[in-house]
């Protein structure tokens, strides 16, 4: 299983009350807490042997609420739930996060960066 697929499975199983989507997924309306995850970057680490790579994944957490107070409460609960799942998954490391609000104040979200490692060997 890929790191992206593993992360989506982990989040789906660990967050049964949230909608979890993998990229390419379709967000055809957010009606409740929604999480999307996809791989965004692959890099070789200088100190690692040949064939070992770091994969960065983006995890977006959305709320259906547009009212800032309700959105904040919902996102705080969703963020705590996602962090609890990641805390118990040693193969994924949270490396950063940013709280965002759309310019028209209608889309509230958290964008997390999660890293994992892969080893590529000759077939």
* Residue pLDDT, tens place only, 71-85: 999 999 999 999 999
Average pLDDT, rounded, for the chain? 87
CA distance linking residue 101 with residue 57, whole number of Å: 21
Which residues lie below 8 Å from residue 76, measured CB to CB, with a gap of 6+? none
CA distance linking residue 108 with residue 63, whole number of Å: 6
Q: Which domains does the chain have, with CATH numbers?
A: 3-119 (3.30.2000.30)
pLDDT in tens, 41-66: 888 877 777 777 888 999 999 998 98
What pLDDT, on a 0 to 100 scale, did the predictor assign at position 45? 76
What pLDDT, on a 0 to 100 scale, did the predictor assign at position 87? 93
- Whether omega for the bond prior to residue 91 falls within 30 degrees of 0, making it cis, is no
Q: How confident is the model at residue 118 (pLDDT cuts 50, 70, 90)?
A: confident
């Amino acid at each position: 299983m890929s790191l992206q697929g593993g992360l989506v499975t982990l989040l789906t199983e660990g967050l049964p009350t949230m909608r979890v989507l993998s990229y390419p997924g379709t967000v055809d309306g957010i009606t409740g807490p929604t999480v999307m995850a996809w791989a965004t970057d692959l890099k070789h680490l200088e100190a690692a042997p040949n064939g070992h790579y770091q994969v960065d994944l983006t995890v977006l957490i959305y709320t259906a609420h547009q009212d800032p107070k309700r959105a904040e409460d919902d996102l705080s609960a969703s963020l705590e739930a996602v962090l609890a799942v990641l805390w118990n998954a040693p193969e994924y490391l949270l490396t950063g996060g940013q709280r965002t609000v759309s310019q028209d104040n209608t889309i509230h979200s958290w964008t997390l960066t999660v890293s994992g490692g892969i080893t590529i060997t000759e077939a």
